[in-house]
Homo-oligomer: A and B are copies of this chain.
Amino acid sequence: MLPEKVREYLDSHREKHLEKLIELVRIPSIANDTSEPDRCMEAATWLAEHLKGLGLDVEILPTKGKPNVLASLEVSADAPTLLIYGHYDVQPADPLELWRTDPFDPQVRDGRLYARGANDDKGQLFTHLMAIEAWVKAGGGVPLNLKVFVEGEEEIGSPNLEEFVERYRERLSADFAVISDSAFFAKDVPSITYSLRGLSYFQVDVHGPSADIHSGLHGGGPTNPINALAKLIAAMHDERGRVAIPGFYDDVLELAPDERKAWDALPFDESQYAESIGLEELHGGERGLPVLERQWARPTLDCNGIVGGYTGKGAKTIIPSSASVKISMRLVPDQDPEKINDAFEKFVQDTTPSGVRVRTHRHAAARPVLLDTAGKPMRAGRNAVLEAFGKEPVMIRCGASVPVTELIQRLLGLDAVLMGFGLPDDNLHSPNEKFDLSQLYNGAVAAAAFMNNLGDKCLE
């Protein structure tokens, strides 16, 4: 059990902690924003100062892109070490007009903090920083050695992370790892995630005439780049909603029978979920499979953005010079992003209609991950969540990617505990992102209890 004084410290510092979190969330640290001044460096610096204030040794380490923050606190050479991962970068905030309040002017309404990054991942990361502070200030010091690793490019697919983890493998080495960048299955249904999907992200550009040309004078001559791109995208799915890229499903691991059974027992109401995202029916993914299976255990292919030709008001009669699409594929164990990337590129070259030139650009890739659910760290995590939220957590998968999870597994030899505190209606990557303050405060309790449980010999 978490010492009462640590819990009391967290309870009595809620307002102060919220104020500090708001400071961090106010910084628009969007990783794909290359304008000056670099707001990512500003967020990294804020974190470094904050961690120093908690007594950690801190360094801001550069990458080819945005910098990472690496901090450590050694309490004893004999104690085990916990690696805490989070990311300070956030998704772009557009479309701005759909935000009720400015995405970077955090506002508390109805017990929730609204802002870009309030949850993903500044808010969730902050639960661990609150826990460290409580242990340091009220608990007589943290109960095990700590390493805190905060990345700055998670939302753009962590393009420089693998190189970084390889390079700093020694400094990142630990006995346990925890990541809070996921969500409860539902409010009051505490959850721990044991599998994430991977990612392959492409931009595909189709080039036609050297300039936009008159659709009347020329229509019927050249291949139209938008029509060609639409043909290409349409060919990526068959009539059953399966991805039609040859070899795409070759390495897909079938669902275990006990997983299907466990998921059937979850409190999932398909029509309620559909309604929560403004829909009546859910026809994405493969026909005939349950929604949770489609989102958690099956790979998908989605267009994230498309643009070409005249997109202003009214009419303009042109055949455009080019058209572009961004496409992300979510991969499941044991699909290999490299193999999928090659298959995708070959498919694009083979399938694009004649008369246009096509180019593919690889943006980001992440391997899917399946984590150990039986060992000490998982038990420590389950007990911590139980202690903080009063309910045994359910074990779930997640359709999203947290690329670091697989790197920690492959390069550091650790199966991280994905102890996330978000809720399904938190509007991640969407306008009006929020984080329930009860999740923030109880999350900090869970983070503190997790440290306690891992330092606690009785669990071994």
- Point out residues on A near B: beta carbons under 8 Å: 31-32, 34, 91-92, 94-95, 98, 155-157, 183, 197, 199, 201, 208-224, 226-227, 229-237, 273-274, 277-279, 281-286, 291, 294-295, 298, 300-321, 323-326, 328, 330, 353-355, 363-364, 398-401, 427-432
Q: Determine if B312 and A316 form an interchain contact, defined as CB atoms under 8 angstroms apart.
A: no
A428: B residues at CB distance < 8 A: 214, 217
A277: B residues at CB distance < 8 A: 209-211, 213, 218, 221-222
Q: Determine if B284 and A213 form an interchain contact, defined as CB atoms under 8 angstroms apart.
A: no
A31 to B314, CA, bound (A): 9
Expressed in whole angstroms, the minimum distance between the Cβ of A28 and any Cβ of chain B is 14
A199: B residues at CB distance < 8 A: 216, 317
Contact with A316, one of B183, B209, B230, B429 (Cβ below 8 angstroms): B429
Known: A32-B313, A234-B231. A295 touches B91 (CB 8 A): no
Q: Determine if A304 and B314 form an interchain contact, defined as CB atoms under 8 angstroms apart.
A: no
Q: Determine if A98 and B211 form an interchain contact, defined as CB atoms under 8 angstroms apart.
A: yes
Expressed in whole angstroms, the minimum distance between the Cβ of A169 and any Cβ of chain B is 26
Expressed in whole angstroms, the minimum distance between the Cβ of A355 and any Cβ of chain B is 3
Known: A303-B226, A306-B226. A92 touches B354 (CB 8 A): no
Known: A309-B306, A314-B363. A284 touches B330 (CB 8 A): no
Known: A95-B212, A214-B428. A314 touches B156 (CB 8 A): yes
A302: B residues at CB distance < 8 A: 215, 219, 224, 226-227, 319
Q: Determine if A222 and B284 form an interchain contact, defined as CB atoms under 8 angstroms apart.
A: yes
Q: Determine if B306 and A399 form an interchain contact, defined as CB atoms under 8 angstroms apart.
A: no
Known: A215-B328, A330-B220. A91 touches B316 (CB 8 A): yes
User: What are 19 contact pairs spanning A and B, CB under 8 A?
Assistant: A156-B315, A157-B315, A213-B277, A213-B429, A214-B429, A215-B330, A216-B399, A217-B295, A218-B277, A218-B284, A221-B294, A226-B303, A281-B354, A283-B353, A283-B354, A284-B319, A304-B320, A315-B364, A316-B326
Expressed in whole angstroms, the minimum distance between the Cβ of A99 and any Cβ of chain B is 10
A290 to B214, CA, bound (A): 19
Q: Determine if B278 and A227 form an interchain contact, defined as CB atoms under 8 angstroms apart.
A: no
Q: Determine if A214 and B303 form an interchain contact, defined as CB atoms under 8 angstroms apart.
A: no
Q: Determine if B279 and A222 form an interchain contact, defined as CB atoms under 8 angstroms apart.
A: yes
A325: B residues at CB distance < 8 A: 226
Contact with A430, one of B91, B201, B208, B214 (Cβ below 8 angstroms): B214
Closest to A210 in B: B278
Q: A218-B277, A231-B233, A304-B316 are in contact. List 5 more A-B contacts (CB 8 A).
A: A197-B216, A209-B278, A219-B285, A223-B283, A307-B307
- A281, A324, A399 — most chain B CB neighbours (10 Å): A399
Known: A279-B209, A317-B328, A400-B214. A305 touches B308 (CB 8 A): yes
Q: Determine if A309 and B305 form an interchain contact, defined as CB atoms under 8 angstroms apart.
A: yes
Expressed in whole angstroms, the minimum distance between the Cβ of A244 and any Cβ of chain B is 12
Known: A91-B316, A215-B304, A309-B306. A230 touches B220 (CB 8 A): no
A279: B residues at CB distance < 8 A: 208-210, 222, 355
Known: A221-B284, A312-B94. A216 touches B401 (CB 8 A): yes
A273 to B210, CA, bound (A): 12
A201 to B315, CA, bound (A): 7
A320: B residues at CB distance < 8 A: 303-305
A328: B residues at CB distance < 8 A: 215-216, 219, 315, 317
Q: Determine if A399 and B220 form an interchain contact, defined as CB atoms under 8 angstroms apart.
A: yes
- A197, A215, A298, A325 — most chain B CB neighbours (10 Å): A215
A57 to B41, CA, bound (A): 69
Q: Determine if A399 and B219 form an interchain contact, defined as CB atoms under 8 angstroms apart.
A: yes
A308: B residues at CB distance < 8 A: 303, 305-307
Q: Determine if B300 and A220 form an interchain contact, defined as CB atoms under 8 angstroms apart.
A: yes
Known: A295-B218, A429-B213, A429-B214. A230 touches B273 (CB 8 A): no
A311: B residues at CB distance < 8 A: 305-307, 324, 326
Q: Determine if A315 and B363 form an interchain contact, defined as CB atoms under 8 angstroms apart.
A: yes
A313: B residues at CB distance < 8 A: 32, 34
A302 to B303, CA, bound (A): 21
Contact with A304, one of B304, B315, B432 (Cβ below 8 angstroms): B315
